[in-house]
C-alpha cells in the first residue's frame, strides 16, 4: 500500500500524548506524527503542515476543547473532509462529536489494537491522499 498516514495527536495529557506516539510509531502505515496539546495549537499545526490526513482528538482540554476544535475545523472547507478519531473517557459528549462529523472513537485507556483497528477502518472508508 502506497498511502501513508500523517497523523496529528491533539491531547493535553503528556502521558497519553507519548503513549499515542508510541502506538502510532509501531504502525507501519503511519509516516509522520505531529502533536498539539489543545485545539488552538492543533489549528496552528494544521495551518503549518498541510500533509496531515488523520487527527486523534481528545475532547477535554484547556484553551480550546475537542468540540470547539471540531466546530472550527468544520467551518473550513479545506479541512471539512478530515477523519477525526476521538480519544475520550467522557461518553457524555460522544453524540455532540458524532454530529460534528467524528469518524470514530477510542475510549481511554488506549491500546495498540484499538489504534490499529481504527487506522484500518480509516483506510477502508476515508480517502487518504
C-alpha cell at 38: 489543545
| CA proximity to 6, closest of 41, 46, 44 | 46
Of 110, 8, 19, 11, whose CA–CA distance to 53 is shortest? 8
Total domains in the chain come to: 1
Structural domain includes residue 127:
no
What integer pLDDT is reported at residue 29 of this predicted model?
A: 94
Please tell me the distance from the alpha carbon of residue 43 to that of residue 65, in angstroms, as a whole number: 12
Report yes or no on 47 lying in a domain: yes
Q: Put the strands of the sheet holding 5-10 in their side by side order.
A: 30-36, 5-10, 54-58, 84-88, 104-107
Cell numbers for 13: 495529557
* CATH number, residue 9: 3.40.50.2300
pLDDT in tens, 77-97: 888 788 999 998 878 888 899
For the whole model, what pTM was predicted?
0.93
Amino acid at each position: 500500500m502506497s498511502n501513508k498516514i500523517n497523523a496529528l495527536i491533539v491531547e493535553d495529557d503528556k502521558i497519553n500524548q507519548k503513549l499515542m506516539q508510541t502506538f502510532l510509531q509501531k504502525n507501519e502505515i503511519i509516516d509522520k506524527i505531529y502533536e498539539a496539546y489543545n485545539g488552538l495549537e492543533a489549528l496552528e499545526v494544521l495551518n503549518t503542515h498541510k500533509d496531515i490526513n488523520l487527527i486523534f482528538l481528545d475532547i477535554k482540554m484547556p484553551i480550546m476543547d475537542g468540540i470547539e476544535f471540531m466546530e472550527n475545523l468544520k467551518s473550513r472547507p479545506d479541512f471539512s473532509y478530515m477523519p477525526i478519531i476521538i480519544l475520550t473517557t467522557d461518553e457524555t459528549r460522544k453524540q455532540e462529536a458524532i454530529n460534528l462529523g467524528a469518524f470514530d472513537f477510542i475510549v481511554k485507556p488506549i491500546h495498540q489494537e484499538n489504534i490499529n483497528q481504527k487506522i484500518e477502518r480509516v483506510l477502508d472508508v476515508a480517502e487518504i491522499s
